[in-house]
Structure 1
Amino acid sequence: MAMGYAAIITTVLLWSGFFLSLKGGAISALQPADIALTRFLLPALVMLPFVIKHKCRITVIPLRYLVGMVIGCGLPYLLIASTAMQYAPVSHGSALIPGTLPLFVSCIAIVCYQQPLSTIRKLGLTMLLIGIIVFLLSNLGSQYHWKQLYGHSLLLLGSLMWALFTISARVANLSAHVAAGFVALISLGLLIISISMGWLDSYLAQTPLSEWPWETLLGHILLQGIGAGLIASYTFLYAVRTIGAEASAAFGSLTPMVATLLAIPIFNETPNTSTWIALTFITFGGIAASNLFNREPINQQYCPPKHK
C-alpha cells in the first residue's frame, strides 16, 4: 500500500511537468502534433517488446475498454489538452484536468458500478463543483473571455477523457508497462496517419531537420516521453491497481498547486484571487472525495470483471 502512495506522489510531480511542457509547447512554434510525437515515440519503442509478448492477453479484453484507454490517455486526449493550453494558464489547466478527475471518476463509478457515496465524499464532490464554477465565472466580466471559456471547456473534456482511461485501465487489468505501451503504439500509429493525410499540422514535418529546435524538443522529450510517457504511465497505473482508481484520482488533485507554484517563476504567471480560491476548493475537494477517509478496505471498491 505504501508503494502505491509513493507511486501516485511521483505521478503528481511528473504531471506538473507535463502541464508545464504543454504550456511551453503552446507558446512555441511547435504544433500539438509535434508535442504528441515527443510524447508517444519513445514509449512506443521502449514498450513494444512488452506489448508483443502480451498480445494474446490484450486481444481478449473487450474492445470498449481498449478504446477507452486510447481515447482517455492517448492521442485524442493529448490533442485536446495541448489545444486547451493555448487558451488557459498552467494553473487552470492543471486544476481542470487532474484536479477535477475525482468528480468524473466517481460519476462513472456510480453510474456503471452503483458505488455508494459517503457523506464526506459528497462534500468533496460539491467542493469540486464549486471550484469549477469559480473558474467558469472568472470568464465573466466587462467582456466575455470567450477564448478562455473555450479553453476551460476543452480542459473539462480532457478531465472526462482521463476519467474514462482511469476506469478502463482498472477494468482491463493489464500490467502498467503493457497498458502504457499499447496506448503509445496505437497513438503513434494514429499520429503518423493523421500527419501523412494532412489532418494534423506539424511544424517538424514542414521544417528541415537542421532547423529543428533541438533544445526545446529535448525538454519535451524529457517531460513528455520519459516523464509522462514512461515513468508516470507506470506509476499512475500501479497506483490505480494498488490503492484504487478514486484514491489515485484524488491525489491527482494536488497537481494544480504544484504546477501553479512552478509556473510562477518559469512562465511569470500571476494567479489572481479567484484562481487561488478555485484551486483551494478543487484541491481539498479532491482529497475529501477520495477513499483516504473511508475505513473500508481497498478490495471493497468495484472490481474489474474477469475476461474470458
Structure 2
Amino acid sequence: MHRHRGVAALAAAVVLWASFALTIRGIGASGLTPVDAAFLRFVTPVLLLAPWLPRALRAVRRERPGVVVALCLAGLPHFLLSALGGRLTTAALVGLLLPGSVPLFVAVILAVTRGERVRGRRLIALTAIVLGIAATAVLTTAGATTTGIGVLLAAGFVWAVYTIGLGRTRLDLISVVLVICTPAALVAAVLEVTGALPVNLTSAPVSHLALFVVLQGVGTGIFSTLSYGYAVRRLGSGIPAVIGAISPVLTTVLAVPLFGEPITAGVLVALALVVGGVITYNVKPRDRAGSALAGPPPAAGHRPHVRGLQPHLTTGVVEHPAAAGQLHLQ
C-alpha cells in the first residue's frame, strides 16, 4: 500500500512539473504579464504557509548568507527568465531545457569551484545532454527562438546554483519554500504597485487568475514539493529521479493540443538525447547488495540536504527539481 501511494505521489509530481512548463508558455495568452504570474506564483505559498513564517525567519538567521542567496535565485530571477524563455520558444523547449541543462551546469560549477571531475557513465550522460541542447539550437531557424534557448539556459544555470545551495542548506523544507517565495512575493508586489514593469493583474480574466493560483502557486509551489518528497521516502531516490525525466515528454505531448505546437524531428532528437542523458546521469550502478534503485528510503527528516530528497528543477521552488534535472549531490 505504501508503495502504491508513493507511485501515485510521484505521478502527481510529474504532472505538476509539466504544468509548470505549460503555464509558463501560456502566460502570453492568459492576459497576465510575467510580473502578474510571478506575483500569483509566490504570494500564494507565502499566504498558505504563513503560520510557519516566524520559524523560517529564525532559521534563516542561522544560515550562511551565500546559501540564502543561492536559494533566493530560485524565486523571481528564475521565474522571470523562464517566462521570457517561454515567450520566445515553445512549451517543449521550456520543459526540456530548464531541467535538462541543470545536471550539466551543476557539474561545471562543481568542477570549477571544487575541482570535482565527472567520469564514466555520468560523463557520457552529460555529453548526451550537451548534444541535445546543441540540437535544439542547430535545428532552430528563428532568431527569436535561438535567443529564447539562451534565456532558458540562463534559467537552468540559475537553478543549478540554487540546487547546489539546496544541497548545503540546514533549513527544513518548508523554510526553504518560504525563503524562496517571500522575497520574490515582496518584489513582485512592489512591481505590481509601482508599474515599473508591465502589469495587468486587475484586468485579467478571473478564470486565468484562478488557474495560475492553483497550478503555479499551490501545485508547483507546494504540492509538487510535498508529493515528490513523499515519493522519495516511499520508493527511494533512484526511481523518482529516473521517472521524473519523463516530465519533458509529457510537456511536449500536452503542448500539441494546448498550443498547437508540432512535434518535429528536431524536438524528438533533443528529447531522446537530453532525457536519455538525464536518466543515465541519475541511474545508480548496481552494487553488491543489488539494485541501488531499490535502496532504503531516506531518514524521516524534512531537511533538503538529506540524501535522497532532491530538489526538482523546474521548475519553481523545491519542485520541479525542477523534472528531468534531479541530481544526487555527493
TM-score bracket for the superposition, by shorter chain length: 0.7 to 0.9
| Shift in CA distance, 16/122, structure 1 to aligned 2, threshold 3 Å | same
Cα deviation for residue 48 of structure 1 reads 2.1
Cα deviation for residue 9 of structure 1 reads 5.0
Contact 1:77 1:162 in 2 (8 A): yes
Counterpart-to-counterpart distance in 2, 1:155 and 1:226: 23
Q: Equivalent of 2:58, from 41, 48, 56?
A: 56
Cα deviation for residue 4 of structure 1 reads 8.2
Partner of 1:103: 104
| Shift in CA distance, 201/26, structure 1 to aligned 2, threshold 3 Å | same
Q: What is the identity, as a one-letter code, of the residue corresponding to 2:133?
A: I
1:7-156 paired onto structure 2 within 5 Å: 10-71=12-73, 73-140=74-141, 145-156=142-153
| Shift in CA distance, 127/247, structure 1 to aligned 2, threshold 3 Å | farther
Counterpart-to-counterpart distance in 2, 1:46 and 1:138: 43
Partner of 1:164: 161
Counterpart-to-counterpart distance in 1, 2:98 and 2:255: 16
Q: Equivalent of 2:189, from 170, 192, 196?
A: 192
Contact 1:240 1:248 in 2 (8 A): yes
Counterpart-to-counterpart distance in 1, 2:245 and 2:115: 24
Partner of 1:289: 281
Larger fraction in helix:
1
* Secondary structure of residue in 1 paired with 2:19: helix
Q: RCO (CA 8 Å, sep 6+): is it higher in 1 or 2?
A: 1
Counterpart-to-counterpart distance in 2, 1:237 and 1:80: 26
Normalised by the length of structure 2, the TM-score is 0.79
Counterpart-to-counterpart distance in 2, 1:133 and 1:14: 27
* Secondary structure of residue in 2 paired with 1:139: coil
Cα deviation for residue 292 of structure 1 reads 2.8
Contact 1:91 1:259 in 2 (8 A): yes
| Shift in CA distance, 96/27, structure 1 to aligned 2, threshold 3 Å | same
1:239-254 paired onto structure 2 within 5 Å: 252-254=244-246
CA RMSD of aligned residues (A): 2.9
1:135-284 paired onto structure 2 within 5 Å: 135-140=136-141, 145-205=142-202, 207=203, 212-235=204-227, 252-284=244-276
Cα deviation for residue 120 of structure 1 reads 1.0
Counterpart-to-counterpart distance in 1, 2:56 and 2:32: 35
Cα deviation for residue 30 of structure 1 reads 1.2
* Secondary structure of residue in 2 paired with 1:125: helix
Show CA shifts across 1:45-74 (max 9, x none).
112221212322211111111111111x20
Counterpart-to-counterpart distance in 1, 2:186 and 2:127: 40
For structure 2, the 5+ residue unaligned runs are 299-306, 309-327
Contact 2:98 2:153 in 1 (8 A): yes
| Shift in CA distance, 240/128, structure 1 to aligned 2, threshold 3 Å | farther
Contact 1:251 1:286 in 2 (8 A): no
Q: Structure 1 stretch 292-301 or stretch 226-235: which is displaced more?
A: 292-301
Contact 2:27 2:37 in 1 (8 A): yes
| Shift in CA distance, 236/151, structure 1 to aligned 2, threshold 3 Å | farther
Show CA shifts across 1:200-258 (max 9, x none).
211125x3xxxx301111111111011111112344567899967x9977654322101
Q: What is the identity, as a one-letter code, of the residue corresponding to 1:24?
A: G
| Shift in CA distance, 197/226, structure 1 to aligned 2, threshold 3 Å | same
Contact 1:95 1:253 in 2 (8 A): no
Q: What is the identity, as a one-letter code, of the residue corresponding to 2:20?
A: F
Give the aligned length: 292
Show CA shifts across 1:139-180 (max 9, x none).
24xxxx211011101111111111111111121132211111
Partner of 1:306: none
Q: What is the identity, as a one-letter code, of the residue corresponding to 2:90?
A: P
| Shift in CA distance, 248/97, structure 1 to aligned 2, threshold 3 Å | farther
Give me the identity figure in percent. Answer: 25
Contact 1:253 1:282 in 2 (8 A): no
Contact 1:47 1:178 in 2 (8 A): no
